[in-house]
Each structure stands twice: as C-alpha cells, then as structure tokens.
Amino acid sequence: MNPSYAVPAVALVVVATVLVGAFGLRISRTTSDFYVASRTVGPRLNAAAISGEYLSAASFLGIAGLVLVQGPDMLWYPVGYTAGYLVLLLFVAAPLRRSGAYTLPDFAEARLASPAVRRLAGAFVVGVGWLYLLPQLQGAGLTLTVLTGAPDWLGGVIVAAVVTATVAAGGMRSITFVQAFQYWLKLTALLVPALFLIAAWQADGAPRQAFDEPAGFREQRVVRVDGPVDLRLRSPLTVTVDGTVDGRPHHAARLTLPAGTHPTEPG
C-alpha cells in the first residue's frame, strides 16, 4: 500500500477506536462497573465483541500464513479455537457468573478457601494472557511495518497505549464497544474484497487465468516438496536443491533450471 494512503488510514482507525471507547466510557465507581460493565451489555453487542476478538491477528495473519505455507489443512486451527470459545462459555463463564466472582482467581479462592490457590490461578491467568498478547503485538508491529515502513516496535507500542488507556478509563464497557466496532470494521475489510473477487469471477470475459496463478514469493524462501511435483517454469530460475530434480539427486547444489517442466521428487 502507498504510505501516503496507509498512514492516514491507520491514524483514522486509531482515532475511531479511541472515540468509540470514549462513547462507551462511564465513570467506574464500583467493581461491577469495571469488570462486567454493570451487566448492562446486551447479547447482540456482546456477540459482536466476542466475534471481534475472534477476528484478531491470529485470524488475519496467523491462519492466512499457515494456509499459504502448509495448505488448507491448517483451517482446523480456527475450528479448534471456535470450539474453545464454546467450552469457555459453558464451563467457565457460566459458573463464574453464578458464583458472583469477577475473576478466575476470585472464583478459585471462593470455592477452595485457599489464598495459595488464588495466587497460583492468578499466575496462570497472567501467563496465558502474556502468551496471547505477544503475537497480537507482533502482528500489530508487522502490519504497520508492511503498510508504512515504520519500525517493528511502533505498532505494538501504539496498540498497547490505546488499549491500556481504554481499559483504565472505561473498563469492560469501553472495551466491549471497541471490540464490537472492530468486528464490523474487520468483517467489512474481509467482505469487500471478497465481493469484488466474486464479481470479477462471475463477469463475462473475466481473465480467469488470473485466479489460477500460483502463490508468488517476494523474496528468497525455502520450499519443501512433500509429494511429486512438476515445476513449470516460464523463464530460467536459479535455486539451491537438496533432493531429486529431473531424475538427478542433488545435495545443496545451486542450479539454474531452464524454462520448461521439471519433475521434482518428494523431500
């Protein structure tokens, strides 16, 4: 993307996120205000917020990258964490709500009457949250770097600052509004190009061969062949081969393959 468009677009999303968080802002006078938005969030808004959490960097970057590198079998990953959400709602969120506790450490101490268990549960919560947070911040940095050429750390800093300010100011109410807004924003970002692709595919005289083009790499990559593959080259290609190509075994050999078809064995 052209940086002259990318920078204003990123700035617009950040400003919109802050404004939406401010719209959901209310003075947090009680624990209930902060943790559960005084239980005033409706099911539709809550569903949009949960869906916004689902469409995170893991979906946009992680799953897309896994499918590109390892194939459609990687689509089982989003199925797995969708099932995880259901388990969380049924076996964690529902008992937590009935108990009156706001956090898992609170719930553990209330049920087992043990401050040590509370501290252990708190350590697990912080550890899991940190492991979840790292790829999100890395995804933010990678996205901003690709769009604008900014340093890797800048995207993570911006996201951390916006989220921290929103949480500290408005608690769960503001976060719910922000997540719901991000859900509709990201859903639109997915649907608009998909609709254009479908329209192009269905149009008469559309260059359908463009949809059949193989994946391309902008820089040098290591590609492992797990089955017999015929490489069809339109122009000569220089590669480092560790395997069998054109019926000849090679070990870390640098070859220039001429245009044409080259049978490649597994491995």
Domain ranges, ordered by start, for the chain = 3-201, 222-264
CA angle 175, 130, 147 (to 5 degrees): 70
Q: What is the mean pLDDT of residues 95-119?
A: 88
Note the pLDDT of residue 120. Answer: 95
Q: What is the mean pLDDT of residues 32-52?
A: 82
pLDDT exceeds 70 at position 2: no
pLDDT exceeds 90 at position 224: no
Note the pLDDT of residue 121. Answer: 92
Supply the Cα-derived Rg of the chain in whole angstroms.
25
Q: Which of 24-38, 60-74, 94-108, 241-255 bottoms out in mean pLDDT, i.e. has the lowest? A: 24-38
Using pLDDT thresholds of 50, 70 and 90, give the confidence band for residue 54.
confident
Note the pLDDT of residue 258. Answer: 92
Q: Crossing angle of helices 43-54/152-202, nearest 10°?
A: 100
Q: Which of 1-10, 26-35, 41-50, 191-200 bottoms out in mean pLDDT, i.e. has the lowest? A: 26-35
If we measure between CA atoms, which residue out of 59, 219, 69, 68 comes closest to residue 139?
A: 59
Please state, in angstroms and rounded to a whole number, the distance separating the CA atoms of residues 255 and 245. 10
Note the pLDDT of residue 213. Answer: 61
Note the pLDDT of residue 124. Answer: 94
3-class DSSP state of 236? coil
pLDDT exceeds 90 at position 89: no
Note the pLDDT of residue 119. Answer: 93
Query: CB–CB of 35/171 below 8 Å?
Result: yes
pLDDT exceeds 80 at position 96: yes
Q: Is the pTM of this model over 0.85?
A: no
The residues, any chain, with a CB within 8 Å of residue 167's CB and separated by 6 or more, are: 174, 175
CB burial readout 174-213, b (16+ within 10 A) else e: bbbbbbbbbbebbeeeeeeeeeeeeeeeeeeeeeeeeeee
* Mean pLDDT of the residues in the chain: 83
Task: Report percent pLDDT > 70 for the chain.
Answer: 91
Please state, in angstroms and rounded to a whole number, the distance separating the CA atoms of residues 74 and 62. 10
Q: Which two tokens stand for residue 251?
A: 């070990």
pLDDT in tens, 120-154: 999 999 999 898 888 888 888 888 888 888 888 88
Question: Position of tokens 């990318």?
Answer: 6
Query: CB–CB of 126/107 below 8 Å?
Result: no
Using pLDDT thresholds of 50, 70 and 90, give the confidence band for residue 177.
confident
